[in-house]
Amino acid sequence: MTSSNRIADRDRFDWLLAAAVVAMVATFARVIYFTPIEARQGAAQKIFYLHAPSAFIGLYVGFGLVALAGALYLWLRDERLDRIAASSAEVGVVFTTVVLLTGPMWGKPIWGTWWTWDARLTLTLFIWFVFVGYLILRGAIEDPATRARYSAVLGVLGALLVPFIHLSVYLFRTLHPMPILLKPGRPSLPSDMLATFAMSFISLSLLFVALLRARYRLAETRDALEAEDSADVSSVASLHAQPVR
């Protein structure tokens, strides 16, 4: 009963998500109106405030959590860990998609091309492929325990794959230098820009946590419903199984 009470509570307003949305709006306002335009790159540089924090959160936190929760699941077999992994993968894919969309928008005016086979870009794209595959795998399995085991295996192997892809694309790039590697080393940001960056990083982290929590609750509700359904089916089946008197 307690679990259904907890789930009934979920219909209430998600304050954390609302706070994250407000923080994002405030961040965008600051980025657009109250942060100076960069001298060499112009307005395009402002994409950086969305791009860089999303990359860090999506790639390191999001997918790191998938691998970690997967490894722990294989050890502890706690379904909560599987829900964390699933939620983190979904939110991580959203953040990484933002990275892959905002990157070319910046690349076109600054590098002069939408895409280049730079090591970082290539690695990000392949990690994105692995985790889209992860979500497709989850969608293709009905049984919750099998789904959890398979996706945990894929999550852990995905984390093992990352250094190998990194090594090979890095070697590939250094052997074939691109003519447009104008990407500057991280410039020391003026304090205005640094403050905006910090604010953006915090709001996006908040958004990640809020989305993760909302998605986790959805998974919990879904599992509870599925359990109820199967309980109904088995009770109906036992009714039919009774001999007619």
Partner 1 sequence: MSVRRPPGTLAAAALIARKDLAIEFRTRSAFLAALTFSLIAIVIFFFAWDATAVGAVDLAPGVLWVIFTFSGLLGLHRSFGVEEADRAIDALLASPVDREAVFLGKALANLAFVLGVQAVAIPAVALFYNLPLTRVIAPLAGIAVLAAIGLVSVGTLFSAMASNTRLAELLLPVLALPFFVPIVLPAAQSTARLLSGRPVVEAMSWLRILIAFDIVFVVACALAFPFTLED
Task: Write down the least CB distance from residue 231 to partner 1, Å.
Answer: 22
Binding site for partner 1 (CB under 8 A): 74, 126, 129-130, 133, 136-137, 140-142, 145-146, 149-150, 152-154, 156-157, 160-161, 164-165, 167-169, 171-172, 175
Judged by CB, which is closer to partner 1: 146, or 230?
146
Q: 35 - beta bridge partners?
A: none
Residue of 3, 161, 154, 11 lying closest to 82 (CA atoms): 154
Contact, 152 vs 82, CB < 8 A?
Answer: yes
106 Cβ contact partners less than 8 Å away, ≥ 6 residues apart: 44, 45, 47, 48, 51
Judged by CB, which is closer to partner 1: 25, or 157?
157
Task: Write down the least CB distance from residue 30 to partner 1, Å.
Answer: 37
Task: Write down the least CB distance from residue 37 to partner 1, Å.
Answer: 38
Judged by CB, which is closer to partner 1: 38, or 79?
79
Task: Write down the least CB distance from residue 142 to partner 1, Å.
Answer: 7
210's tokens: 């809020």
Task: Write down the least CB distance from residue 158 to partner 1, Å.
Answer: 8
Residue of 218, 196, 217, 202 lying closest to 20 (CA atoms): 202
DSSP summary character for residue 47: G
φ and ψ at residue 47, rounded to 5 degrees: -60, -30
- Alpha-carbon distance 191 to 205, whole Å? 21
